[in-house]
């Protein structure tokens, strides 16, 4: 039996009820999207009282399946105006699942602008004043909360960006060390949390227990096969484990698809200085941790610990997309500075992709120069101070473009593009254009097949095959996000046929159902259809499933391609 | 024979050709919208090279028909993303028509960010450097241009706002006294002009002649009947003539529909201090001009001259919507300050409606207090200086709301609502929601029938009849904007049956055709359909034809109504 907790911020009431039948068989992204489609008016004001903010662990949450502890956050996005799901590692997903909670649904809005924290324990759920946290960043907030709640709980929080309802505001989740380093970054969900007056959620797992399994033996057997796949595939057992996601810098640079200086060229002369190999050697030299899991049950352990020259903690290892956003995309090759900015984003509560893009667009506008490390750090500090310039930057790349009259603004549905140029990796360009989430590499990671030749081989520069590739990946990803699995399991899943069967077998064994791989994919299709339906009702059309004009007009060096997947092809992605 | 002039800003080439057959029978808004639908990709970047900026006098331009000298400006709007037409008085419309020019079409974009001016004479059209005008406001720009081109030409220009490509940037047109006081204000068309590197257009009417008439006698006869209607109707012969459009302050306040302090109540305690009666008495006392036409051939003469206490020129009489935007909507009752801000907006080149709303939303965000006159003037000065805060404000109310996390933002399609609360004047609410231009009172002025009982009587607080009223007015307005007539002719046209016949008769007599009143309305329908088609291709749907949520949730005092015209009713507006 799993429950949902409804928290009404208008009157402070809280209710715990069994998950309604209509939501059964859904978790994670599938559940947040289903709630939104059913309960939220798609044209509502994202930071108004009619929006809802939903937290949900995945279908495999609370089990001992490897890498199954992701938590999905959903709402209508203040950044894109679309339905939005962003998911995160950290401890919250598994803790909630072990408390038998399928979802927390935050509704309404307090009238007076006050701040609250939600304390969730096995037996009760309580809304308490949190005025003492007002204006604090995530690190200070969590530190303060630890004084009351200690180390053995999970923290969910927003920084200043969320309180100010900025479009790039993230929701932070504490990691295994109790640091707010894991973020549901994209789409400004922190702003929705801020608009609800909810500064933090404290999840105490005490007394919780592993999720019940309909068939324990079958589950154990399937989870072993799954684990084996993770520990066999070179990406999940070596590449990510040793070099973090930042291993991609040199790979994508080599492929000519590393967007440099606001997407003006595809190779960065300083790539090597900020790539995963350097990250590893710097960390090793400083006696930091090169292999660290962001959540319990992780066997990939891509999240290292970054130390400064004196050996003091700076941040978790910045992700590839973070290194890119603050690095090559701003013309910056200083890894220490990038790690500081990663820490700054985590603290203020900002999506690093959106914010790095915002700064790069500001550089294009002439506010700072590309390559100006001190300038970039200054701009991030402006966001933390909440100055007008900081508010613009914290509202995302689209806002910077509008306010400063920039023509070259890399956004789809007003969400900034991640670290792969769509002209050199056309499959992921199709995903950027068509995902119901706005530009998002995680929505259908065609980079795997275009560049890393995982799950097949589709020429990154050709048009042929990209739409089918993106479609298949978007469907599989929606299912993986619904299961609550870390997206990196996709590498073995795409290459090792039995891995996906094992996922379906685990879900079957947990819920006492018979799920095939086809059923698992059907689940992904169903989730995408719900999301598309929400967006259609919100007013989105095929005209929104397009890349910005400049990708079609300007050739990208070194391959000198434009993005040339025809519109009619893009419109074939959701032909199911 | 009329021509179009194509100005290519990419390569500097200029071409004058006869108006293509497919555009015949169109002028003004009808012509700008037809060009946009045919020649501009609806999903293009508004400030990019693929957008086009079109200037067009109306079908009756260049004749001696009263009040026929309006000029339409069209482009894809950087503010709304929709097709956009904004029209203006001043001298340019009639001058262009007398030179036999049906439209100037500005295309492409210079690569290096340089500024140009376009010099239009009877015999040639030349693009010249305008670097000497860089960073100048409209007043200083026109003053400088006068040194070269003198007093007997028409000036079209942008201020700093246009150069910076701000969403509230207007295009200024010089009036009969050579002052840049008339503006195509709405939709940020000044930003499109700025994005083309076009700082000014100088139109020399020398050698031009009255537009040819197919049947001079019939034209003379019809234009007399039309003139008679204008001079008979109390609104166009007395109300507007003596008190300007500001006569509406007390009327709309009395009706409980004067949006006060960012649309939080419908009556303003200081209304009388800023209304038309006060404007008249202050102007009379200071020996200013209470009755002044903005263009030659105007018989309404609603545009007075506002002097300060010392008797020095401040601005033209601020329009009702300007007085409202900077006055009641900001809680301000200081007419001198409002006139200064009107002047400031004209100089920087800003839409007063958009900018006043932006300031009111900033006040709601707590940046200044409602009623803070010095604070409002400071904010306007920030825009002129181009500070980050100024850029936000100059980007419009929607941008202020996004950047500062404000929930109550009065925009439709991201364009700010004008001076009539849709909860107390529901007919104009229907127009705001559904006009292809975004929130715009001039697109279908239901206030006339709701409040002033012109053209019938539809209860402003009831739902019944509003959709039919708005539809009829939107159609008639599209036709009037195509004819190049000042919208205020609508008052006699709605009340005096022969006035509309006279308009159709004038067009018939000029072009040698047989146009009935039905044909004239059909023309309006055709224009709206083109605009809707552009918007549909740009991705707009019924979900965009809605007022912001707060108008449906919050009751407006004193009548305590919400906006309750059902969505299905709104979707009936364009049922033709």
Backbone angles phi, psi at B386, to 5 degrees: 75, 25
Q: Which of A258, A257, A146, A261 is nearest to A204 (CA)?
A: A146
Q: Which residues contact B305 (CB under 8 A, 6 or more apart)?
A: B283, B288, B289, B292, B313, B316, B317
A51 DSSP assignment: -
> Given a cut of 80, is residue A461 above it in pLDDT?
yes
Is the CB of B169 inside 8 Å of chain A's CB atoms? Answer: no
Strand, helix or coil for residue B139? helix
User: Cβ–Cβ of B195/A539 closer than 8 Å?
Assistant: no
Q: How close A281 gets to chain B, by Cα (Å)?
A: 40
SS3 category, A216? helix
Q: How confident is the model at residue A112 (pLDDT cuts 50, 70, 90)?
A: confident
Q: What per-residue confidence (pLDDT) applies to A292?
A: 86
List CB contacts (< 8 A) between A539 and chain B: 540-544
What residues contact residue B494 under an 8 Å CB cut-off, 6+ apart?
B448, B449, B454, B455, B456
CB A376 within 8 A of CB A415: no
Distance CA B70, CA B94 (A): 7
* Cis ω for the linkage preceding A518 (within 30 of 0): no
pLDDT digits (tens, 9 = 90+) for A116-150: 999 999 999 999 999 999 999 999 999 999 999 99
Report the C-alpha gap between B243 and B252 in whole angstroms.
14
Count of CB atoms situated within 10 Å of the CB of A284 = 12
Which of B167, B407, B540 is nearest residue A45 as measured by Cβ atoms? B407
**Angle A466-483/A28-39 helices, nearest 10 degrees?**
90
d(CA B354, CA B258): 16
- Residue A92, pLDDT above cutoff 70: yes
- Between CA A195 and CA A553 the distance in angstroms is 39
Convert the pLDDT of each residue in A271-327 to its tens digit: 999 999 999 999 999 999 898 888 888 999 998 999 999 999 999 999 999 999 999
Q: In a 10 Å sphere around its CB, with 0-12 CB exposed, 13-18 middle and 19+ buried, how is residue B514 labelled?
A: exposed
For chain A, what percent of residues have pLDDT higher than 70? 100
Which residue in the block uniquely carries the two structure tokens 């409209």?
B138
Contact A172/A63 with Cβ under 8 angstroms? no
Which of B196, B387, B405 should one mutate to test binding to chain A, selecting the residue with the greatest count of A CBs within 10 A? B405
Q: Does B305 touch chain A (CB under 8 A)?
A: no
Contacts of A45 in chain B (CB under 8 A): 407, 548-550
A402·B399 Cβ contact <8 A:
yes
Listed residue (B208, B148, B158, B212) closest to B188, CA to CA: B158
**Residues A343-364: pLDDT tens digits?**
999 999 999 999 999 999 999 9
Chain B residues with beta carbon closer than 8 angstroms to that of A549:
43-45, 48, 50
DSSP tag of B90: S
Of B47, B195, B541, the CB nearest to A541: B541
Q: Please name every residue paired with B84 in a beta bridge, in sequence order, or none if there are none.
A: B75
CB contact under 8 A, A546 and B195: no
Cβ neighbour number for residue A298 with a 10 Å cutoff: 20
Q: Do residue A388 and residue B399 have CB atoms under 8 angstroms apart?
A: no
Residues 6+ positions from A472 with CB-CB distance below 8 Å: none
E strand residue ranges, A45-197: 53-57, 71-76, 83-88, 101-107, 116-120, 125-129, 154-157, 171-173, 182-184
Out of A425-429, A488-492, B249-253, B346-350, which region has the weakest mean confidence (pLDDT)?
A: A488-492
The pLDDT of residue B113: 82
pTM: predicted TM-score of the whole model, two decimal places: 0.97
* C-alpha angle B447-B450-B451 in degrees, rounded to nearest 5: 75
Encode A252-272: b = buried (16+ Cβ within 10 Å), e = exposed: bbebbbbbbbbbbbbbbebbe
Run of H or E residues at B426:
helix B426-434
Q: Which of left, alpha, beta for B83 (phi over 0: left; psi -120 to 50: alpha)?
A: beta
The mean pLDDT value for A72-85 works out to 98
Q: How far is residue B199's CA from residue B188's CA, in Å, rounded to a whole number? A: 14
CB B292 within 8 A of CB B316: yes
Query: Can you give the pLDDT at residue A1?
Result: 65
Please list every residue in chain B whose beta carbon sits closer than 8 Å to the beta carbon of residue A548.
Answer: 45
* Bridge pairing between strands A101-107 and A3-8: parallel
Strands (E), A397-448: 411-412, 415-416
What's A231's DSSP letter? H
Q: Give the pLDDT of residue B112.
A: 79
Among the partner-chain residues B403, B539, B546, the one whose CB lies closest to the CB of A392 is B403
Quick one: CA dihedral A151, A156, A159, A163, positive or negative?
Answer: negative
Q: Is B50 on the interface with A (CB under 8 A)?
A: yes
**pLDDT band with cut points at 50, 70 and 90 for residue A525:** very high
- For residue A55, give the nearest of A76, A37, A74 by alpha carbon: A74
pLDDT of residue B1: 65
Helix (H) or strand (E) holding A14: strand A14-18
Residues lower than pLDDT 70 in chain B: 1
For residue B472, which of B439, B452, B445 has the smallest C-alpha distance?
B445
Q: Is B202 helix (H, G, I), strand (E, B) or coil?
A: strand
Q: Give DSSP secondary structure letters for B396-408.
A: -HHHHHHHHT-S-
Provide, as residue numbers in chain A, all residues whose Cβ is less than 8 Å from the Cβ of B158. none
Give contacts of B 308-337 with A, CB under 8 A: none
């Amino acid at each position: 039996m799993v429950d949902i907790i409804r928290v009404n911020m208008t009157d402070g009431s809280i209710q715990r009820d069994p998950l309604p039948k209509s939501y059964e068989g859904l978790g994670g992204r599938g559940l947040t999207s289903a709630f939104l489609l059913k309960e939220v008016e798609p044209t509502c004001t994202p930071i108004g009282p009619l929006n809802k903010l939903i937290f949900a662990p995945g279908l495999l949450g609370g089990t001992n399946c490897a890498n199954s502890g992701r938590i999905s956050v959903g709402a209508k996005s203040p950044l894109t105006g679309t339905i939005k799901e962003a998911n995160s590692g950290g401890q919250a997903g598994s803790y909630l699942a072990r408390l038998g909670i399928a979802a927390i649904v935050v509704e309404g809005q307090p009238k007076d602008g006050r701040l609250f924290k939600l304390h969730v324990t096995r037996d009760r759920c309580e809304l308490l004043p949190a005025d003492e946290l007002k204006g604090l960043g995530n690190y200070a907030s969590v530190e303060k909360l630890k004084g009351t709640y200690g180390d053995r709980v999970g923290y969910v929080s927003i920084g200043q960006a969320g309180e100010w309802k900025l479009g790039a505001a993230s929701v932070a989740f504490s990691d295994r060390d109790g640091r707010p380093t894991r973020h549901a970054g994209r789409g400004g969900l922190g702003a929705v949390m801020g608009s609800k007056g909810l500064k933090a959620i404290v999840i105490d797992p005490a007394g919780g227990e592993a999720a019940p399994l309909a068939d324990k033996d079958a589950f154990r057997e399937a989870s072993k096969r799954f684990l084996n796949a993770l520990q066999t595939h070179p990406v999940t057992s070596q590449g990510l484990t040793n070099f973090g996601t930042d291993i991609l810098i040199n790979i994508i640079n080599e492929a000519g698809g590393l967007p440099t200086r606001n997407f003006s060229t595809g190779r960065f002369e300083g790539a090597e200085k900020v790539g995963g190999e350097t990250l590893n050697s710097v960390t090793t030299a400083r006696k930091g941790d090169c292999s660290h899991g962001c959540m319990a049950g992780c066997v990939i352990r891509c999240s290292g610990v970054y130390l400064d020259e004196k050996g003091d903690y700076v941040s978790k290892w910045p992700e590839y997309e973070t290194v890119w956003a603050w690095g090559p995309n701003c013309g910056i090759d200083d890894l220490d500075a990038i790690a500081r900015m990663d820490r700054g984003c985590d603290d203020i509560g900002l999506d690093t992709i959106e914010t790095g893009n915002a700064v790069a667009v500001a550089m294009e506008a002439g506010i700072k120069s590309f390559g100006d490390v001190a300038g970039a750090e200054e701009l991030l500090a402006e966001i933390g101070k909440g100055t007008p310039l900081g508010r613009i930057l914290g509202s995302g790349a689209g806002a910077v473009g509008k306010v400063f009259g920039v023509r070259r603004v890399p956004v789809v549905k007003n969400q900034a593009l991640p670290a792969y140029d769509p002209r050199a990796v056309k499959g992921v360009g199709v995903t950027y254009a068509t995902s119901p989430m706005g530009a998002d590499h995680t929505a259908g990671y065609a980079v795997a097949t275009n560049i890393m030749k995982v799950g097949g081989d589709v020429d990154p520069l050709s048009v042929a095959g990209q739409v089918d590739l993106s479609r298949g990946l978007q469907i599989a990803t929606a299912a993986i996000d619904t299961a609550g699995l870390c997206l990196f399991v996709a590498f073995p899943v795409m290459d090792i046929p039995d891995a996906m069967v094992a996922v379906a077998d685990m879900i079957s064994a947990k819920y006492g159902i018979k799920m095939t791989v086809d059923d698992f994919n059907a689940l992904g299709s169903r989730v995408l259809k719900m999301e598309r339906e929400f967006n259609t009702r919100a007013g989105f059309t095929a005209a929104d499933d397009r890349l910005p004009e400049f990708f079609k007009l300007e050739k990208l060096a070194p391959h000198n391609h434009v993005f040339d997947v025809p519109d009619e092809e893009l419109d074939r992605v959701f032909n199911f």
